[in-house]
């Protein structure tokens, strides 16, 4: 029988533990830096620039409208950057795409992968590395289109204040040919979709009864209003959509006939998102046939920065009895 000497694992375990703590701390510090550096860029940005050619599919003609968004991916360990640039005159695509910025677990470097379309139909993909610069980032990219055109270029994004960002391409090479840099142009921070939508929904009620003409400027050309009630024998049909013209000419004029002394709508809750808003209200009014303190929920949907549709929900019972004087009937068996 061979006896092995006893060797304590405590020193080895201690070293491993220290290394694990060191590595974990380094990763945490790197992720904290990513979050700190990219936080000022989060949100939506827009602006205009001169068009620039050189990349396959793009044309150096006219002006461009830019819309850009930065947002955290779950866990805040990576950033999604999307953009869409269109020609102002034609509204056709100049460049649109998606970029993911992340810390590579293998190398520890900040990297990006991107894909998109330039012009009408030139698809491309790229990859690159990220370098922190004063108040921003500098991304070095290697790109290839589906047709084989190879590009190398640098994109620089620098904050010029809380609500201003400068975007430039200081160097670029397409198929080995050096091209002129793209000078910096300014993008402005846009209000979040949530804040913008909430503001428009609240403005709807501020002007609804007192200054309805003001409403028209925030209504989408395809606007529809629908009262979601299911009662019979009303002045105007319910449960059907009204467009902008019929909403103002047919629906609104009926309100004073039903609540001659006016109505107060007190907001108790607002639930807002990038796509829609729900507003909960308590009514305060004397109806034509009795006290009318109804509860309301209004659902707003938005498109192109304007109100696309409004749906009104409330108690059919109070509408029928206090506004129209209808009597409840027992369903026939």
Domain boundary among 148, 172, 190: 190
Using alpha carbons, select from 141, 306, 296, 301 the residue that is nearest to residue 215: 306
Strand partners, 136: 133, 158
Using alpha carbons, select from 278, 288, 287 the residue that is nearest to residue 309: 278
Tokens 């974990």 locate to 24
Burial 23-49 (b: 16+ CB within 10 A, else e): eeeeeeeeeeebeebbeebebbbebeb
Q: Tell me: do 39 and 176 sit in the same domain.
A: yes
Dist CA 200 CA 279 (whole Å) = 12
Using alpha carbons, select from 209, 193, 173, 214 the residue that is nearest to residue 300: 193
Strand partners, 313: 297
Cα radius of gyration (the chain) = 30
Q: Tell me: do 91 and 180 sit in the same domain.
A: yes
What is the pLDDT at residue 18? 47
Does residue 76 belong to any structural domain of this protein? yes
Does residue 248 belong to any structural domain of this protein? yes
Q: Tell me: do 142 and 40 sit in the same domain.
A: yes
Please list the alpha-helical segments (H only) found in 183-324. 193-208, 212-215, 244-246, 255-258, 316-318
Dist CA 317 CA 302 (whole Å) = 30
Q: Tell me: do 51 and 168 sit in the same domain.
A: yes
Domain boundary among 190, 214, 237: 190
What is the pLDDT at residue 130? 97
Which residues does 130 contact at the CB level (< 8 Å), separation at least 6? 101, 109, 110, 111, 112, 137, 138, 139
Please say whether the beta carbons of 47 and 187 come within 8 A: yes
Domain boundary among 147, 163, 190: 190
- Kind of pairing, strands 241-242 and 63-72? unpaired
Q: How far is CA 9 from the centre of its chain?
A: 55
Note down the domain range covering 59. Answer: 28-190
Q: Tell me: do 156 and 45 sit in the same domain.
A: yes
What is the pLDDT at residue 333? 46
Question: CATH number, domain at 244?
Answer: 3.10.450.50
Does residue 13 belong to any structural domain of this protein? no
Give the CA diameter of the chain: 107
Using alpha carbons, select from 155, 147, 166 the residue that is nearest to residue 131: 155
Q: Tell me: do 89 and 115 sit in the same domain.
A: yes
Using alpha carbons, select from 57, 44, 41 the residue that is nearest to residue 143: 57
Does residue 332 belong to any structural domain of this protein? no
Please say whether the beta carbons of 308 and 302 come within 8 A: yes
What is the pLDDT at residue 236? 77
Q: Tell me: do 114 and 237 sit in the same domain.
A: no
What is the pLDDT at residue 327? 86
Strand partners, 290: 287
Question: CATH number, domain at 165?
Answer: 2.40.128.20
User: In tens digits, what is the pLDDT along the chain, a chain of 333 residues?
Assistant: 433 344 454 555 555 444 444 444 444 555 688 999 999 999 999 999 999 999 999 999 999 999 999 999 999 999 999 999 999 999 999 999 999 999 999 999 999 999 999 999 999 999 999 999 999 999 999 999 999 999 999 999 999 999 999 999 999 999 999 999 999 999 999 887 888 899 999 999 988 878 888 889 999 999 999 999 888 888 778 889 999 999 999 999 999 999 999 999 999 999 999 889 999 999 999 999 999 999 999 999 999 889 999 999 999 899 999 999 998 776 664
Strand partners, 125: 115, 144
Strand partners, 48: 65
Which residues does 39 contact at the CB level (< 8 Å), separation at least 6? none
What is the pLDDT at residue 207? 86
What is the pLDDT at residue 1? 40
Q: Tell me: do 111 and 248 sit in the same domain.
A: no
3-state secondary structure of 183: strand
Which residues does 164 contact at the CB level (< 8 Å), separation at least 6? 186, 187, 188, 189
Q: How many residues does the chain have?
A: 333
Please list the alpha-helical segments (H only) found in the chain. 10-38, 193-208, 212-215, 244-246, 255-258, 316-318
Does residue 17 belong to any structural domain of this protein? no
Q: For the chain, how many structural domains are there in total? A: 2
Q: Tell me: do 71 and 207 sit in the same domain.
A: no
Tokens of 145: 């289109």
């Amino acid at each position: 029988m061979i006896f092995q000497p006893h060797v304590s694992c405590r020193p080895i375990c201690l070293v491993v533990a220290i290394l694990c703590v060191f590595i974990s701390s380094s990763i945490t510090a790197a992720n904290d830096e990513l979050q700190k550096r990219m936080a000022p860029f989060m949100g939506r940005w827009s602006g205009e620039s001169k068009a620039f050619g050189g990349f396959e599919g793009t044309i150096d003609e006219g002006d461009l409208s830019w819309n850009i968004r930065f947002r955290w991916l779950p866990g805040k360990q990576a950033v999604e950057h999307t953009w869409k640039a269109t020609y102002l005159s034609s509204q056709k695509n100049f460049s649109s795409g998606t970029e993911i910025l992340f810390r590579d677990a293998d190398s520890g470097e900040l990297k990006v992968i991107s894909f998109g379309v330039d012009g009408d139909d030139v698809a491309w993909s790229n990859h690159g590395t990220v370098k922190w610069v004063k108040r921003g980032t500098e991304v070095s990219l290697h790109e290839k289109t589906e047709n084989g055109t190879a590009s190398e270029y640098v994109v620089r994004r620098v904050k010029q204040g809380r609500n201003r960002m400068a975007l430039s391409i200081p160097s670029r090479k397409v198929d080995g040919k050096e091209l002129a840099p793209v000078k910096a142009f300014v993008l402005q921070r846009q209000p979040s979709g949530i804040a913008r939508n909430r503001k428009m929904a609240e403005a709807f009620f501020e002007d609804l009864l007192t200054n309805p003409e003001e409403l028209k400027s925030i209504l989408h050309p395809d606007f529809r209003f629908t009262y979601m009630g299911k009662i019979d024998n009303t002045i105007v049909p319910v449960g059907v959509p009204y467009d902008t013209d019929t909403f103002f000419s047919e629906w609104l004029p009926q309100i004073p006939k039903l609540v001659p002394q006016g109505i107060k709508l007190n907001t108790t809750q607002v639930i807002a998102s990038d796509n829609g808003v729900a507003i909960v209200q308590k009514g305060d009014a004397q109806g034509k046939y009795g006290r009318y303190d109804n509860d309301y929920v209004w659902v707003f949907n938005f498109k192109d920065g304007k109100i696309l549709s409004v749906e009104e929900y409330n108690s059919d019972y109070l509408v029928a009895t206090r506004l129209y004087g209808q009597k409840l009937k027992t369903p026939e068996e």
